[in-house]
């Protein structure tokens, strides 16, 4: 007889979510908390993190710990360890990202290096630390936030897209390495999603309607639904169709031009 496990049985009792103060990170916190997992929430923005943590606590079902730290710091794990030592972290959502939009040579080198630190180095360390314990327990889940921009070059987010390709390939590779050991890994690839960070980037959406803009709530729900079922996933039926079809039909050069021209319309002068 097959025993159907609940999300909490599979990935509890604790989840660790980075970039939890805003956007999809806050939404992960609400939805995972509502499923009964205790939370360790990580972000740089202490005030906003407290609001999300209090909102989840008001549900009255779970314990929530907050860690205010900058994931670009070489020693960020020393801020995380006191809050996580002794806890069984069964679910890691590596969601925080540094995502400035702009032409490559209009961004500073510091900004580009920060993207590598926050978007690549930090997820690598988190997976190494918490994934190893999941492997030893033969139980757990890891969501690495990638992006629809991860599968080809994109103007205006060149370095960012490259960091998201790192997350996608890391997730898919680990999906295969860990799947027989009870640990599920997902590379999640949203298209444009209406989050705080996205709004602050000030896209001029009226200039191009090629790429649909999704809402965080159903997007995050989709990640939690497909974890354990696939190595990677593009949320939103329309997004998935457009991207999959275009990738199959268009030469790579045309694909790069198409997604770049959408970005140029949203962010070009
Ligand atoms: N929104 C989209 O259109 C979209 C599309 C594809 C993929 N994604 C991916 O989805 C994930 C979430 O995106 P989002 O739009 O929800 O982001 P968001 O609204 O900008 O929120 C990200 C949160 O992470 C925090 N953060 C950034 N750098 C950090 C650091 N060094 N240390 C600690 N916290 C840090 C941010 O704080 P600060 O604001 O202070 O930096 C912010 O609170 C990201 O991985 C992103 O790449 C988003």
Count of alpha carbons within 13 angstroms of residue 8, beta-carbon side: 12
Q: Band of the pLDDT at 109, cuts 50, 70, 90?
A: very high
Between 90-94, 219-223, 237-241, the lowest mean confidence (pLDDT) is in: 237-241
Q: Band of the pLDDT at 2, cuts 50, 70, 90?
A: low
- Please give the distance, rounded to the nearest whole angstrom, from the Cα atom of residue 25 to the centre of ligand 1: 7
- What percent of the chain clears pLDDT 70, i.e. is strictly above it? 99
Ligand 1 atom closest to Cα of residue 193: 3
Range of the domain at 107: 8-267
CA distance 28 to 58: 16
Question: If residue 91 lies in a helix (H) or strand (E), which one and from where to where?
Answer: strand 89-94
Annotation says 166 is catalytic = no
Ranges of beta strands (E only) in 117-212 are: 140-145, 183-188
pLDDT for res 269: 82
Output the ligand 1 site: residues, CB below 6 A. 19, 21-25, 43-45, 70-72, 95-99, 118, 145, 147, 190, 192-193, 195-198
- Please give the distance, rounded to the nearest whole angstrom, from the Cα atom of residue 96 to the centre of ligand 1: 5
Q: Band of the pLDDT at 3, cuts 50, 70, 90?
A: low
CATH of the domain at 45: 3.40.50.720
Assigned domain for 238 exists: yes
β-pairing verdict for 89-94 and 38-43: unpaired
Are 189 and 232 a contacting pair, CB within 8 Å? yes
Closest CA to 95 of 16, 211, 34: 16
The model carries a pTM of 0.97
Assigned domain for 51 exists: yes
pLDDT digits (tens, 9 = 90+) for 10-46: 999 999 999 999 999 999 999 999 999 999 999 999 9
Assigned domain for 2 exists: no
- DSSP secondary structure code for residue 211 in this structure: S
* Residue closest by Cα to atom 25 of ligand 1: 19
Assigned domain for 1 exists: no
Closest CA to 220 of 236, 200, 238: 236
pLDDT for res 63: 98
- Please give the distance, rounded to the nearest whole angstrom, from the Cα atom of residue 181 to the centre of ligand 1: 30
Cis status, amide bond into 49, omega within 30 of 0: no
- Give how many domains the chain has, as a whole number: 1
């Amino acid at each position: 007889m097959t025993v159907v496990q609940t999300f909490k049985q599979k990935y509890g009792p604790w989840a660790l979510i980075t970039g939890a103060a805003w956007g999809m990170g806050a939404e992960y916190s609400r939805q995972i908390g509502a499923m009964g997992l205790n939370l360790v929430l990580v972000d740089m923005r202490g005030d906003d993190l407290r609001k999300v943590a209090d909102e989840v606590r008001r549900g009255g079902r779970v314990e929530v710990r907050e860690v205010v730290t900058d994931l670009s710091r070489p020693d960020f794990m020393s801020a995380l360890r006191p809050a996580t030592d002794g806890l069984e972290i069964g679910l890691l959502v590596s969601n925080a990202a540094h995502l400035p939009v702009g032409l490559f040579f209009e961004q500073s080198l510091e900004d580009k290096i920060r993207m590598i630190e926050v978007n690549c180095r930090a997820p690598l360390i988190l997976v190494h630390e918490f994934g190893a314990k999941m492997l030893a327990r033969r139980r757990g889940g890891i969501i690495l936030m990638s992006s629809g921009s991860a599968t080809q070059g994109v103007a205006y987010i060149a370095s960012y897209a490259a960091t998201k390709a790192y997350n996608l390939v890391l997730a898919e590779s680990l999906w295969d390495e860990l799947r027989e050991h009870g640990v599920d890994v997902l590379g999640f690839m949203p298209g444009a999603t209406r989050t705080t960070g996205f709004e602050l980037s000030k896209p001029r959406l009226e200039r191009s309607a090629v790429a649909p803009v999704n809402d965080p709530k159903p997007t995050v729900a989709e990640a939690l639904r497909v974890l354990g079922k696939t190595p990677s996933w593009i949320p939103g039926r329309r997004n998935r169709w457009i991207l999959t079809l275009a990738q199959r039909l268009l030469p790579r050069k045309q694909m790069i031009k198409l997604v770049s021209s959408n970005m140029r319309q949203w962010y070009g002068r």
